[in-house]
Structure 1
Amino acid sequence: MHLDRSDGDSPVWCSMTCVQFRANLARWCHLPPSSKLTQTLDTGVYGLGLAPFLTAHQFPYYVEAVKAMSISPVLLVPFKFALAWALCYHTLNGMRHLTWDLGIGFRLKELYASGYTVLAISLVLGAILAFK
């Protein structure tokens, strides 16, 4: 199938031969250092998330092991805050996206307002959960 205004040799669709595929590693090498750092940290966090399924002990065993380490609150509270904030932020942003599915909040002013609201509430909830 050809378009009337084309030269007659060009197909309407693009074949897979004109798509240039790149390896993920090649793309990763061109990313800024901050993106590389966050991707590496994400991989580590996902690995820790899988650890309970791959180890022999139950979750309470590891909670007690961390308590037995006597980690300083100076290190523990920011770590707990980071985990709690990420959970709260993504949960609230998920609810925000569900309202978009209902067709609510598409104007630019509403987008910014809901974004800042989600950020503020998630910071407060993250702090509350971190200090429990």
Structure 2
Amino acid sequence: MGTSAQEEMNKFWAKNTRLNRPMSPHISIYRWSVPMAMSITHRGTGVALSGGISVFAVAALVLPGSFPHYLDLIHSLSFGPALITLSKFALSFPVAYHTFNGIRHLVWDAGKGLKIPEVYGSGYTVIALTLLTSLALTAL
């Protein structure tokens, strides 16, 4: 007669405890790499962009007044040039990064650039293009 799922699970945890293994691979055991950081950043920028667009869309639907009214309200707050520049960079960076890294993923989906040196090279290219594009958009 076979063992139950509960007995198998108990054997599994007893063995892992006896061997002093962690419960699961934890982020502290991994060595950070460019592809890993870029993957996390790609997901984060995707969530931020979709969340930002959703908030903007809901606000446009439910708030009274028109867009020019709220634009004038923001202009009347008289933010300093440093805050405006920082805001422009904060808006342009996720858009540029997610766009360039998305193109990189499309190239991977075509089966190209999957060797480790190519992955790192395309990663550094995405970072450079993102910074240049973000700075150019910020300067507008």
With structure 2 as the length reference, what TM-score do the two structures score? Answer: 0.59
The answer to whether 1:98 aligns with 2:106 is yes
Query: Going by fraction, where is helix more abundant, 1 or 2?
Result: 2
The answer to whether 1:8 aligns with 2:16 is no
Structure with higher RCO (Cα < 8 A, 6+ apart) = 2
Q: What's 2:97 paired with?
A: 89
Taking the aligned partners of 1:64 and 1:100, their CA distance within structure 2 comes to 44
Residue identity opposite 1:114 in structure 2: S
Taking the aligned partners of 1:101 and 1:58, their CA distance within structure 2 comes to 42
**Shift of residue 46 of structure 1?**
6.4
3-state secondary structure, aligned to 2:136:
helix
**Shift of residue 45 of structure 1?**
4.6
Identity %: 38
Provide the aligned C-alpha RMSD in A: 2.6
Q: Deviations over 1:57-105 (max 9, x none)?
A: 3333222221121110111101110110111000111111111111111
Q: Residues 75 and 112 of structure 1: is their aligned pair in 2 closer, same or farther, counting only changes over 3 Å?
A: same
Q: Deviations over 1:12-36 (max 9, x none)?
A: xxxxxxxxxxxxxxxxxxxxxxxxx
Taking the aligned partners of 2:113 and 2:106, their CA distance within structure 1 comes to 10
Q: What's 1:107 paired with?
A: 115
With structure 1 as the length reference, what TM-score do the two structures score? Answer: 0.62
The answer to whether 1:119 aligns with 2:127 is yes
Residue identity opposite 1:118 in structure 2: V
The answer to whether 1:130 aligns with 2:138 is yes
**Which runs of 5 or more structure 2 residues have no equivalent in the other structure?**
6-43
Q: What's 1:57 paired with?
A: 65
Residue identity opposite 1:106 in structure 2: L
